[in-house]
Structure 1
Amino acid sequence: MTLTAQRFPSRRHILTGLGLLPLAAAAPKPQVVTVLGDSITAGLGLPAREAMPAQLQAALGKLGVSAVVRAAGVSGDTSGGGLARVGFSVAADTRVCVVALGGNDLLQGVEPARTKANLRGVLQKLKSRGIGVVLVGVGAPPAIGASYAREFNALYPSLAREFGVPLYANILAGVGGHSALLQRDGIHPNAVGAKKIGEALAPVVAKALKGR
């Protein structure tokens, strides 16, 4: 006669069942970051995996931050366009919204006061929904007109102070003017440039997420 070994629950299983040992903790759900912007954040000329939002998500992961970064950039969008669509482009589960608008306002010569009013509207709408913000500026060169550039460049830090949100002063910092980091149009970042932007922006976004 062959004896079959009986299977008894282990001591650990018994203690866990009695509530004397903790169950394994579930992995934290990734936080949602939405990037509201124009062609730079839309990744014009790049596959999605190489565009700035994907690069930002990868950079956050390297910092130990579990996040899903959603691209909500529209090529050609101005601050007014962002204001018009912020309600449906930024989903309710967004923890932090990266607001990166103004480059096309600059190219079109929109009055800085109008750009500021539009961005204020975007920030107010996000604040009313309890969504955190990282404000990303655009650097206006003096060649466009010293007075205009001065007023335009001042609007971003002014809004950051008004709403108490972190500011990344110039989305193309360290990238603009460097041909090795730009596409042939000399304006939009290539994959290497987008990675550089994502890596530079990641610590600011990580800190904003932590503050939520």
Structure 2
Amino acid sequence: MMRSLTYGAMGLRSKVTLAGFLLCGVAAPLKAETVHLLALGDSLTQGYGLIEQDGFVPQLRSWLADHGHDVRIVNAGVSGDTTAGGLSRVEWSLTPEIDGMIVALGGNDLLRGLPPESSRANLEGILEVAEAQEVEVLLVGMRAPGNYGPDFKATFDAMYPELSEAYGTLYYPSFFEGIVSEGEAPASAAGLMQADGIHPNAEGVSRIVEAMGPAVEELIARVGADEE
């Protein structure tokens, strides 16, 4: 009789332990999957003139990790690339695991004085590829200097928000938003630029990432919403 009672108590304890284990297993939060982003850009994205960890992509990755995001960012920045170059490689750059894309192109179009209409057509082509592959996009703008004339500047500056609205992407006004005010040239950011006056130094990149980070978080949130 005592043996039966002991066995019964042990069996009951085992069932309670198993139930508790299962309950804990159900209640435990599932680890979020890694978000895969592609940063399509030029030398600003690539990290020109900087050691690797000081570049835009590594600093952005670190910023996102510090804010609780598990993100892998593919650095698809190519020094000297124009919007045409970005268009020529976007399709094969968007490998199957890519969930979202940061597009930061146009600076070299400005340096070469290329027609804004051509830049617009190239950016539109990039967004069409992203749309066809169901990849969320953060479109990063670039502001033209005034030396090309008011019409050029107005046309160039307007293409980013207009394309963003047309394709339903997220929009960030300017890559240099974190270090210069609207109407100022990047070279005016004393102490935050490299000697060429075109590329930010490590501290400049840090401030750019700090300013842009929340917009990238919005991109991550969109990716997550698409997967639910």
Q: TM-score, normalised by structure 2?
A: 0.83
Q: CA RMSD in A?
A: 2.0
Where in structure 2 are the equivalents of 1:166-177 lying within 5 Å?
A: 166-175=170-179, 176=186, 177=188
| Alpha carbons 2:138, 2:171 under 8 Å: kept | yes
Matched, 1:211 2:215: no
Q: Is residue 87 of structure 2 the alignment partner of residue 76 of structure 1?
A: no
- Which residue matches 2:65? 61
Unaligned residue ranges in structure 2 (runs of 5+): 1-9, 180-185, 224-228
Structure 1 residues 179, 13: CA separation in 2 closer, same or farther (over 3 Å shift)? farther
Residues 28-177 of structure 1 aligned to structure 2 (within 5 Å)? 28-175=32-179, 176=186, 177=188
Query: 1:143 Cα shift?
Result: 2.2
**Bigger mean CA deviation after superposition, 170-179 or 183-192:** 170-179
CA distance in 1, matches of 2:193, 2:94: 28
Residue type of the alignment partner of 2:217: A
CA distance in 1, matches of 2:166, 2:217: 21
After superposition, give the CA deviation of every residue in 1:56-100 in whole Å (9 maximum; x if it has no partner): 112222332221122100000000000000012232211110000
Q: 1:29: how far off?
A: 2.2
Alignment match, 1:22: 25
Q: Which amino acid aligns with 2:137?
A: V
Give me the whole-angstrom Cα distance separating, in 1, the residues matched to 2:36 and 2:17. 36
Instruction: Spell out the pairing of 1:171-210 with structure 2 (5 A cutoff).
Output: 171-175=175-179, 176=186, 177-210=188-221
Q: Is the 8 A contact 1:72 1:90 kept in 2?
A: no
Q: 2:79 is aligned with what amino acid?
A: S
Q: Which has the higher contact order (CA 8 A, sep 6+)?
A: 1
State which structure, 1 or 2, has the greater radius of gyration over its C-alpha atoms. 2
Cα-to-partner distance string for 1:93-134 (whole Å, 9 max, x where unaligned): 111100000000011111101100000000000111011000
Residues 179 and 186, structure 1, Cα contact 8 Å, conserved in 2: no
1:181 alignment partner, SS class = coil
C-alpha contact (below 8 Å) 2:116/2:155 kept by paired residues: yes
Runs of 5+ consecutive residues of structure 1 not aligned to the other structure: 1-7
The number of equivalent residue pairs is 204
Query: Within 2, Cα distance between the matches of 1:32 and 1:197?
Result: 21
Q: Report which of the two has the higher share of helix.
A: 2
Q: Which amino acid aligns with 1:73?
A: G
For residues 185 and 179 of structure 1, what CA distance do their matches in structure 2 show?
12
Contact 2:178 2:212 in 1 (8 A): no
